[in-house]
């Protein structure tokens, strides 16, 4: 996983790194039962339960299980997401249905996925809910982090895999849309909701590195603003407060981070992994972005499930606002396409490259 690779690279550099993880959730409250990280609170609990969305699927235009079997070769598939023929495909060519790999035993999943870690997840007594998943490596995560604080540092950087395996409460009524930028700032804002956490985590002599990974765009709202229920799915397309909308300017949040370290003479750099067009040429990429926005903003609600790309890690929306955030850092910012064939390697390589450049190595 990216967390394991990143921890290994940080250890290789032999630097005094301090690493913490939070989620993109700014709406829920941490309750210590189902929600362990939200509103900028650092995560300290590795996920042990996984939602149905984690089960193995293939993107296929299907109306029933038989169409999945026809497309994928056997009868161990269940069609998911079918509403009507008009909703099968979005205007930008993305598909709204998928085929979930069904199972009855762990051995079936291990043989199919060629991974001994795979299990047949049985969320209920109903076999229709069963599906193959490969859980993240969270063995030995009880009692982590060893620092006694909600972050990891040497010689325990290998514990990052535990902190990075955050739980996802998709059944919660409170989590409606992602606010990655606002959550990142809430985590370390000196006078913010987590002021004690910030004062203990930040060091005046340290640079600040931001790493954001998401398959959705940012919907951080400005103070005093809200997003209407009907706009949850398309919130990233809403205007900023500058143009009369509810969203904060991404560049404004970037400047907060920069200003935070400026008095200490230290730098801030940011790397964001999110989806974008996979087209190689500028013209084709712009066309696919425009098509995505047009489809996503359709009045037909099923088209609001449109995505811009799909890769080994799954589907992703276009991270337009994240791109604006990164651009505000100039040469100290970088984007990684989450849909790329080597997205994990690219993410770690890009992040470590920025870090080495900052350290003059």
What would the pLDDT profile of 28-56 be if each residue is shown by its tens digit?
A: 999 988 899 999 999 999 988 888 889 99
Same domain, residue pair 122 and 233: no
pLDDT in tens, 6-16: 999 999 999 99
Mean pLDDT of 252-259: 98
pLDDT in tens, 89-131: 999 999 999 999 999 999 999 999 999 999 999 999 999 899 9
Same domain, residue pair 262 and 317: yes
Structure tokens at 121: 């997840």
Q: Domain range spanning residue 64?
A: 51-134
Question: Tokens 């359709």 identify what position?
Answer: 298
Same domain, residue pair 146 and 42: yes
pLDDT bin (cut points 50, 70, 90) of residue 134 is very high
Q: Domain ends where: 114, 134, 154?
A: 134
Q: Pick the closest to residue 171 from 28, 75, 7, 1 (CA basis).
A: 28
Predicted TM-score (pTM) of this structure: 0.95
Same domain, residue pair 45 and 55: no
Same domain, residue pair 149 and 275: yes
Same domain, residue pair 323 and 219: yes
Residue 149: the pLDDT is: 96
How many domains does the chain divide into? 2
Q: Domain ends where: 85, 111, 134?
A: 134
Same domain, residue pair 145 and 223: yes
Q: Pick the closest to residue 274 from 333, 189, 223, 340 (CA basis).
A: 340
Same domain, residue pair 200 and 324: yes
In sequence order, the β-bridge partners of residue 240 are 247
Same domain, residue pair 293 and 216: yes
Exposed / middle / buried, residue 239 (Cβ in 10 Å: 0-12, 13-18, 19+)? exposed
pLDDT in tens, 162-202: 999 997 765 567 889 999 999 999 999 999 999 999 999 99
Same domain, residue pair 123 and 260: no
Q: Domain ends where: 72, 107, 134?
A: 134
Same domain, residue pair 223 and 119: no
Phi then psi dihedrals of residue 80, to 5 deg = -125, 140
Q: Where are the beta strands (DSSP E) in the chain?
A: 18-19, 57-59, 77-80, 98-101, 119-121, 131-133, 152-153, 208-213, 268-274, 309-311, 314-316, 333-337
Q: Is the pLDDT of residue 209 over 60?
A: yes
Same domain, residue pair 269 and 311: yes
């Amino acid at each position: 996983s990216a967390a394991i690779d990143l921890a290994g690279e940080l250890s290789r550099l032999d630097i005094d790194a301090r690493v913490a993880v939070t989620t993109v959730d700014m709406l829920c409250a941490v309750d210590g039962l189902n929600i362990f990280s939200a509103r900028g609170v650092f995560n300290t609990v590795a996920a042990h339960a996984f939602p149905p969305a984690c089960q193995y699927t293939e993107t296929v235009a299907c109306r029933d299980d038989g169409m999945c079997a026809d497309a994928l070769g056997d009868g161990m598939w269940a069609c998911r997401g079918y509403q009507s023929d008009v909703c099968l495909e979005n205007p930008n060519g993305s598909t709204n249905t998928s085929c979930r790999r069904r199972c009855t035993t762990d051995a079936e999943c291990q043989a199919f996925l060629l991974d001994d870690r795979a299990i047949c997840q049985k969320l209920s007594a109903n076999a229709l809910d069963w599906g193959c998943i490969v859980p993240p490596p969270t063995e030995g995560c009880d009692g982590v982090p060893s620092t006694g604080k909600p972050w990891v540092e040497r010689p325990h950087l290998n514990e990052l895999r535990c902190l990075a395996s955050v739980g996802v409460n998709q059944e919660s009524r409170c989590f409606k849309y992602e606010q990655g930028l606002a959550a990142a700032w809430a985590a370390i804002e000196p006078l913010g909701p987590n002021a004690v956490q910030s004062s203990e985590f930040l060091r005046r002599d340290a640079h600040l590195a931001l790493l954001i990974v998401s398959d959705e765009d940012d919907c951080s709202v400005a103070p005093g603003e809200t997003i209407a229920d009907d706009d949850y799915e398309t919130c990233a397309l809403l205007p900023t407060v500058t143009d009369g909308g509810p969203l904060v300017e991404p560049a404004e949040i970037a400047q907060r981070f920069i200003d935070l370290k400026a008095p200490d003479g230290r730098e801030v750099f940011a790397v964001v992994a999110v989806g974008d067009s996979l087209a190689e040429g500028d013209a084709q990429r712009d066309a696919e972005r425009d098509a995505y926005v047009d489809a996503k903003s359709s009045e037909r609600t099923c088209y609001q499930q449109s995505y811009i790309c799909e890769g080994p890690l799954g589907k992703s929306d276009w991270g337009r606002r994240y791109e604006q955030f990164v651009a505000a850092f100039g040469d100290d910012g970088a984007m990684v396409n989450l849909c790329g064939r080597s997205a994990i390697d690219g993410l770690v390589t890009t992040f470590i490259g920025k870090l080495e450049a900052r350290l003059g190595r």
